[in-house]
Every structure is written in structure tokens, then in C-alpha cells.
């Protein structure tokens, strides 16, 4: 009889252990930086649960908070047995819905998480953050939570307690005061290829810089993965890199591209097989730095994994380059971008359409304004074509259908009169001066000035991930302060490289010219 009881006790023990293990392991599948996003990876494993706040435990707490591109994080410490916590959860979820998940209205700004302190696996984690009551909410930069701690007696901690968040309204009001924002619980997603809700909020547009960085890194990876650097395409790639070094909106992409250009001669010094050796060597370079977000797509995130993402990010990159060039370099920038797409964009049909649009330009651009407006018009032509194709094949992103851009809601002054339709074509009487002003502001100043505003940083010094990435370019390459010796060496090397390439170009047979 005692042996039977012992067996039953053992079975119950295993059963209880399995229950606790499953409840404490919310994320069952490890995610990678290359996944669509941290949140989406988590959501796939919790598809049966509608929660927007990401429930973490001691095993994934540091990883998730380290990988998130969000500027801020909120951690709710609770206990699943606590009635007050259960009652508070719907309030917390209302706010989390604005910032977390595939349908977030304001993605990439605040990562809202929860930790169940009633689980033994989280005991030490909750102790590190001095959890003395439930629920307890802490606010701070995500990186400060990683391997961190909090003590209410600390005076200078970047982590602070949210003392007035008992309802969704009060919590959101606390957030708005903290970061000088104006979010509302009834904010809706504005479904447009390039724009999330609240277009007037620079925070929404400025975060496209992350996607521009990711698109740049993805394009570089594609070029290497598909071994697209050939003798006849090499000069085209170098010219594009030269354009990025001066005009890329992200400082760390300018810095990474400059490093590649400076070392380009050295990495191609393999005499037996220069192109193969070059592509192998280039894999050691990270064009936008090692900390660039990968797989998140905040501004360009589609409602499906296969929509938007890279193509949207690449368009934003091209527009951001176009508004940064001067009159004297406008046609060179045009030919550089046309050559790059022709040689390195792997979608054959899209590449051919872009080639045709470039070939239709009969006269060189003399003004930067002309180039900016040409690229904008080309993008709208692409949208018109893709709209029809997606409608026919039923492949459009239902939440982000292609539109003619910018919409009237975003730039009413861009429209001279009401739109008219002629058969299947929509005719718009554009005010091109207003469109140009809008594009300069939208892809220039607005895209990169958010992080210059110290008020929006709310006393937060940029973390390593943000310290280099969001400083706007104007017309110069920015180099880290204190690197005097490196600057001198790089300048000499870059000058030598320029001379080398001038000699190479003199002896190279000219390729087809876009004019």
C-alpha cells in the first residue's frame, strides 16, 4: 500500500512541476534578431492569448529588454493570485495595446511587460527590483533593466516607480507627462504605406530611421549573399557607398560605410580571385554597426510577415538621400541610385520597371528639387502599378493598401483642387512647390530631429544603441569625438582610395549612362 501511495505522490509531483514550468515559460521558442520582431515572435507562441503586454520571466527578461528597439519600457510586477492584479490587468492592457503587438498604434516607443512574482523562477528577479507590493510598475530605458536592479531609496536611478497608474487613463496621462507626448486611448492606426497614426507627432516619423538602417543592412546582406559584386557592378556599388557616406540620415550607417570604403582596396587585394575574396572579406563589416535593429520594422511594419518591411525601408532610404543632395550633385545622385537598383535590386520585375523610369529621363537634373520630385513621382507610379496587381492577385496588405502619396490628410496644401477620375486613372492637380517643401521636411528634418530634442529624451542619456544612430546628417560625415588619430589615418586612406578610384575610372570602359 505504501508503495502505491509513493507512486501516486511521484506522479502528482511531476504533474505539478510541468504545470509550473509551462506557466513560467511564456516564450517557448527562442527568437533571433533576424526574426520579424521580438513581439511578433512572442505572439506566435501565445497566439491563443490576446494579451498585448509581454509576460516575461527570469530566463528571458534580460534578452527581451536588451533586444527591443523601444526607447522606454514599463515592467509591471504582479502576482497571479492577487485579486487587485487581476482587476488591474484590463487597465494595463488598454495602454499596452497602443504600443505592443502587430497592430500597435504607436509601435517601437514603449515596451510594456509583466513579471509574475508569484512564480518561484522570478523570486530573485523581483527581489532585485525591490517589489514590495502588487501590482508595482517601474519605468525606464530598457537597457537599464538588463542585469539591473532598483531601490526606492536611490536618488539618481534612471528607473523610477509609476505612482499614479491605477487606471488606463491615469497611466497614459503619466506617460504623456513623462515624455511630453499626447497619446490617447482611442488613438487609431492611420493606414498608409509610409505613415502610422498621429502624423503630426514627429516621434512616429522619426522612428523610420531604424527601418532605414535595417534596409541598408539588409541590402548589404543581399548583395553579399547573392554574390552580386562583379567586375561590371563594382564601380556602381562604390558610387552608392560614396553617396551613403555623405548623405545617409543615420550616423552609424555613414560611419560603417566610410569604414568599408576606406578598406575597400585592401579587402579586394586577393590577386587570384579578387571578387570572391572581396565578398568574403566584406562579410566582416557591419555597414550600420553591430547594434542595428534587425527584423523589427517599426515604421514599415506590415500586418503580415511578407508585406512591407524591406521594400518600404528601401524607399524611405532613397527619399531621405534625395532630399539631402545639393543642386550640383543631383544628377550624380540620380544616376548612382538608378545604377544601384539596376545592379543590386534582386526583384527582376521591379528592377526592370525602375530601369525604364530612369531611362525615360532625357535631360540631366540641374536642381536638387527636380530630382526629389522625380523620385516622388516614380514612387507614385510604382504604387499605381502595384495597386492594380495586388487587387487582381488579392495579395495587398489589408491594413496598409497602396495609396497615392502624400494623402490629403497629411499634406492638404499639396493638392490644388479635388481629384478627378478619368476611366481607371486618378488625376491629381499637385502643387509641386508644396509637395517639394513637404518632402524636404518629412524625409529630412522630421526623419532625424526627434532625438536632438532633449525634452523628448526626458533626462535620459542615449544608450549605446541610440548614441550614434539618430544624429541627423546634413552634408558632412560625422566622426566620433576623441578619435583624432583614427580620423587622420582614415582621411589619408580615403584620399588614397579616391585617387586609386579616379585612376581606375579613367581606364574603365564607360557603362550605359542614365541621361
Give the residue numbers marked as catalytic: 82, 85
CA 69 to CA 211: how far, in whole Å?
11
Which of 432, 436, 209 shows the shortest CA–CA distance to 320? 209
Let me know: does 220 contact 257? Beta carbons within 8 Å. no
Give the burial string for 308-332 (b: 16+ CB within 10 Å, else e): bbebbbbbbbbbbbbbbbeeebbbb
> Do β-strands 136-140 and 420-422 pair in parallel, antiparallel, or remain unpaired?
unpaired
Let me know: does 259 contact 251? Beta carbons within 8 Å. no
Longest dimension (CA), the chain: 97
Radius of gyration of the chain (CA): 26
Let me know: does 27 contact 55? Beta carbons within 8 Å. no
In what side-by-side order are the strands of the sheet with 160-161? 54-56, 110-116, 72-78, 136-140, 160-161
Let me know: does 463 contact 207? Beta carbons within 8 Å. no
Grid coordinates of 504: 581606375
Alpha carbon distances (Å) from 85 to 89, 163, 188, 400: 6, 15, 27, 36
Let me know: does 195 contact 203? Beta carbons within 8 Å. no
Amino acid at each position: 500500500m505504501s508503495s502505491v501511495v509513493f507512486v501516486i505522490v511521484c506522479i502528482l509531483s511531476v504533474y505539478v512541476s510541468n504545470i509550473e514550468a509551462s506557466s513560467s515559460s511564456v516564450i517557448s521558442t527562442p527568437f533571433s534578431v533576424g526574426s520579424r520582431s521580438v513581439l511578433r515572435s512572442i505572439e506566435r507562441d501565445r497566439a491563443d492569448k490576446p494579451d498585448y503586454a509581454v509576460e516575461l520571466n527570469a530566463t528571458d527578461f534580460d534578452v527581451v529588454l536588451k533586444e527591443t528597439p523601444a526607447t522606454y519600457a514599463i515592467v509591471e510586477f504582479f502576482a497571479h493570485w492577487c485579486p487587485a492584479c487581476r482587476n488591474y490587468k484590463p487597465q494595463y492592457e488598454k495602454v499596452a495595446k497602443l504600443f505592443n503587438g502587430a497592430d500597435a498604434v504607436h509601435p517601437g516607443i514603449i515596451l510594456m511587460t509583466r513579471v509574475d512574482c508569484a512564480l518561484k523562477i522570478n523570486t530573485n528577479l523581483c527581489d532585485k527590483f525591490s517589489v514590495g507590493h502588487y501590482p508595482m510598475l517601474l519605468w525606464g530605458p530598457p537597457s537599464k533593466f538588463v542585469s539591473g536592479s532598483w531601490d526606492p531609496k536611490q536618488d539618481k536611478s534612471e528607473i523610477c516607480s509609476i505612482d499614479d497608474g491605477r487606471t488606463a487613463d491615469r497611466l497614459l496621462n503619466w506617460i504623456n507627462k513623462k515624455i511630453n507626448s499626447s497619446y490617447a486611448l482611442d488613438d487609431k492606426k492611420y493606414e498608409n504605406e509610409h505613415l502610422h497614426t498621429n502624423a503630426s507627432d514627429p516621434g512616429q516619423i522619426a522612428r523610420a530611421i531604424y527601418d532605414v538602417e535595417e534596409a541598408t543592412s539588409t541590402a548589404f546582406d543581399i548583395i553579399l549573399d547573392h554574390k552580386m559584386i562583379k567586375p561590371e557592378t563594382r564601380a556602381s556599388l562604390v558610387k552608392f557607398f560614396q553617396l551613403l557616406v555623405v548623405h545617409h540620415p543615420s550616423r552609424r550607417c555613414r560611419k560603417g560605410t566610410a569604414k568599408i570604403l576606406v578598406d575597400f582596396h585592401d579587402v579586394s587585394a586577393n590577386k587570384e580571385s579578387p571578387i570572391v575574396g572581396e565578398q568574403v572579406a566584406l562579410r566582416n563589416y557591419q555597414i550600420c554597426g553591430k547594434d542595428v535593429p534587425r527584423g523589427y520594422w517599426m515604421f514599415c511594419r506590415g500586418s503580415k510577415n511578407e508585406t512591407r518591411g524591406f521594400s518600404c525601408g528601401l524607399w524611405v532610404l532613397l527619399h531621405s538621400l534625395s532630399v539631402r543632395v545639393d543642386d550640383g550633385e543631383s544628377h550624380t545622385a540620380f544616376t548612382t541610385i538608378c545604377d544601384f537598383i539596376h545592379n543590386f535590386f534582386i526583384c527582376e520585375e521591379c528592377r526592370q520597371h525602375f530601369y525604364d523610369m530612369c531611362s525615360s529621363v532625357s535631360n540631366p537634373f540641374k536642381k536638387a528639387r527636380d530630382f526629389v520630385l522625380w523620385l516622388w513621382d516614380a514612387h507614385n507610379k510604382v504604387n499605381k502599378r502595384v495597386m492594380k496587381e495586388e487587387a487582381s492577385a488579392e495579395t495587398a496588405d489589408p491594413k496598409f493598401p497602396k495609396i497615392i502619396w502624400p494623402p490629403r490628410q497629411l499634406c492638404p496644401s499639396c493638392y490644388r483642387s479635388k481629384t478627378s477620375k478619368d476611366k481607371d486613372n486618378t488625376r491629381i492637380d499637385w502643387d509641386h512647390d508644396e509637395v517639394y517643401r513637404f518632402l524636404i521636411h518629412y524625409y529630412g528634418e522630421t526623419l532625424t530631429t526627434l532625438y536632438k530634442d532633449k525634452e523628448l529624451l526626458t533626462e535620459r542619456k542615449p544608450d549605446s544603441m541610440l548614441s550614434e544612430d539618430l544624429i541627423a546628417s546634413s552634408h558632412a560625415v560625422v566622426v566620433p569625438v576623441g578619435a583624432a588619430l583614427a580620423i587622420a589615418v582614415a582621411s589619408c586612406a580615403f584620399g588614397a582610395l579616391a585617387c586609386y578610384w579616379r585612376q581606375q575610372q579613367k581606364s574603365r570602359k564607360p557603362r550605359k549612362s542614365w541621361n
